[in-house]
Structure formats: structure tokens, C-alpha cells
Structure 1
Amino acid sequence: MKRGPKQQFYNPIWQNESRISSLKRQLALEADAFKSYVVFSDRCTLKKMYVQSGHVKVMNRHLIVREIIKDMAELPDIFTPLEIKQIYSELAPYTLTAAAIGQARIETVRWE
């Protein structure tokens, strides 16, 4: 199997923490309302690592559904269906912006 060059990137655990901090501020929620899933492609090989936080999980993509189902079974419900709809409504406008940024990045790469 031919392997490409190793890629270096910003620490994804820190990246998620930054994003969660923004969500906490925007939604006025406490830290226990969030769980951080750092998910890599199944083509990535994850080395043994030690994550010092109970709310952070690092995994390959094929494991994400299993982990979310497991967490949902173990953790108490903290939002009502109405609260979930309200959170969705508040965050929906930001997803449109993120999608537009993602498309702009794709277009930029095509022109390079």
C-alpha cells in the first residue's frame, strides 16, 4: 500500500475546544452540555494516545455512530425537544455561512 506524506495540522482537540467555547458563549450554556468528538477519516492511522479529558473522544469515522449511541444511552437528557429546536434555530444561520466558506475554499483550490 502506497502512503502519501504525513500531514501536520492544528491540534484538533484544541480546535474543538475553541469551537465549543464559542458555542457556550453564543448559547449561554455550561460546559457539561457539550461533548467533544474528534473524528478522523478511516484512512488515518491513529497512534496510541492519552486524552486527559472525560468529555473528549478521538476516533476514526467508522466508530462515531456507535460512540454517540453509547453516550446518549449513558448520559441524562439535558434538553427538551423545544430547547433543541431553539438551539437549532439559533445556530442555523451560522451553518449557511460555514457552507459558503467551504465552497469558496473549494473554488480557490480549483484555481490554484
Structure 2
Amino acid sequence: MKEFVWAVSIICILLVFGVVLLKYLSENKKYKNSSYGKQSQKSFWKIISNQGARGEYRTSQIIDKAPFKNKMLFNCYIPNRSGDKTEIDMIMLCQKGIYVIENKNYSGWIFGNEKSKNWCETLKGKKYFFYNPIKQNRSHIKNLEKLLQVGEDKYVSLITFNANANLKKVSTESSGIYVVGYKQLKKFMKKQTDKSDILTDEQIENIFQQLLPGTKLSDEEKQEHVNRIKQQYKK
């Protein structure tokens, strides 16, 4: 009897392992065929093991299914006003404009407005503050426009939050600025089809080729950027 129970247990474990393996292989294939996977130099395992990268990838999956043609750039480094580099999470190029996307990995209730210096994450009764992502993205757009020189009217500032965040009280005032939760992102993308075209396919390709080298930094260069940011916060 013990041998029978042991055999059944082994079979169940193998079946579970097989299901998990098949699921992983299926998701790995999706990743490799996605815009994020094609551009990333990292394995699927490294992406899903990192909270920030995993959030960006999940967001990119929705954008990949947008009802219009687009080109994506991920973790793109561009020069900033101090002469160093700044990293932009995602840039979507399409005929509707240049969508500069700041993806946030927070959980719980989110509170904030366009003008406040910091926003608040409330989780399990505790409050955590983080720099206003609208201000952060505004700085990205200014640096990007200085580089591209295509006109400030071409940009859309899009702040996205992942599935665990609940945008409890978030407000914006200026046009061209959007804060969208994960569950609302698909609907937001669909609405963009109503906008007039402001970029040609040729402009999109030129901008893409101009920015693409910024996605190919070495791990050493990226670490230098991280160290520089840490030093700035210490001051």
C-alpha cells in the first residue's frame, strides 16, 4: 500500500512539473516573439524574476495588441541636460505621436496630482512616498525633444501602473498627460485611434533609428548610470 501511495505521489509531482514546464515554455515563446523580447538582451527567466522588468513586459504585451501600427523602444538611454544619461522606460512611436511611457511597480492605493512633488502609495495601512511620475516624465520629454527637435506637440506623457495598483485619487490638468492603470490600458490604446495622425511612417522610422542605439548599452554602462543616480540621492 505504501508503495502504491508513493508511486501515485511521484506521478502527481511529475504531472504538476510537466504542466508548469509547458506553461513556462509557452510563455517563453510569447516573450521571444514580443517587441520587448526581440529588443531585450535578457532571458525570459531574468525578466520575470525582476519586478521592474516584469512590469514593463506585461505593459508592453498590451501595447503590442494596440489596434494601430507602432514601434517600441525599451529602457532607452538619452542625454540629459547635465551631460549624463537618463533612462526612459518605454517609448511608443506611431502616427498618433511619440508616447513617452513611465511604468510604475507600486501596489495598494495610489494618490497624487499633477502639481504635487510626491505621490503616495498606501499599502497595508502604511504610507510610502515617491517622486511625482508626471514631473519625472516631463523631464524625459524635455530631454527627448532637445535630442530629436520634432516639436513639443508631438509628445504624449503616459504614466502606467501595474495590476496591483489601485489609482484611488489621481488627477491631471494639462492636455497630453495620462495616468492609466493596467486594466484600463487596453481601453486607452483603443481610444488613440480617434486621434489625428501627426507623424509619417518615414518620421517614425527616422526617430526609431536615432533612438535605437540608446537601448543597447552594456551592463557596465547601465550599472554606471545606477551608481550615478545613487550618488545624486546621497547629496
TM-score bracket for the superposition, by shorter chain length: 0.7 to 0.9
Alpha-carbon offset, residue 12 of structure 1: 0.2
Q: Who wins on radius of gyration, i.e. which is larger?
A: 2
2:168 alignment partner in structure 1: 47
Tell me if 1:31 matches 2:152.
yes
SS at match of 1:48: strand
Quickly say closer, same or farther: Cα 1:98–1:20, change in 2 above 3 A.
farther
Kindly report structure 1 stretches of 4+ aligned residues shifted beyond 3 Å: 2-7
Quickly say closer, same or farther: Cα 1:98–1:36, change in 2 above 3 A.
farther
CA distance in 2, matches of 1:24, 1:64: 25
SS at match of 1:29: coil
Which one of the candidate residues 78, 84, 94 is aligned to 2:214?
A: 94
1:68 alignment partner in structure 2: 189
**Unaligned regions of 5+ residues in structure 1, if any?**
106-112
Of 42-51 and 81-90, the range deviating more from structure 2: 42-51
Alpha-carbon offset, residue 76 of structure 1: 1.2
Of 81-90 and 6-15, the range deviating more from structure 2: 6-15
What TM-score results when the alignment is normalised by the length of structure 1? 0.76
- Larger strand percent: 2
CA distance in 2, matches of 1:92, 1:3: 41
1:108 alignment partner in structure 2: none
Which one of the candidate residues 197, 203, 228 is aligned to 1:77?
A: 197
2:203 partner letter: E
Percent identity reads 29
- Larger helix percent: 1
C-alpha RMSD of matched pairs (Å): 2.5
CA distance in 1, matches of 2:190, 2:137: 20
Deviations, residues 52-75 of structure 1 (Å, cap 9, x unaligned) = 11211111122223212212x222
Of 61-70 and 28-37, the range deviating more from structure 2: 61-70
Alpha-carbon offset, residue 44 of structure 1: 1.1
1:11 partner letter: N
1:90 partner letter: Q
CA distance in 1, matches of 2:214, 2:182: 24
Deviations, residues 74-102 of structure 1 (Å, cap 9, x unaligned) = 22111111111110000001122397627
What TM-score results when the alignment is normalised by the length of structure 2? 0.39
2:139 alignment partner in structure 1: 18
Alpha-carbon offset, residue 30 of structure 1: 1.4
2:211 partner letter: L
How many pairs align? 102
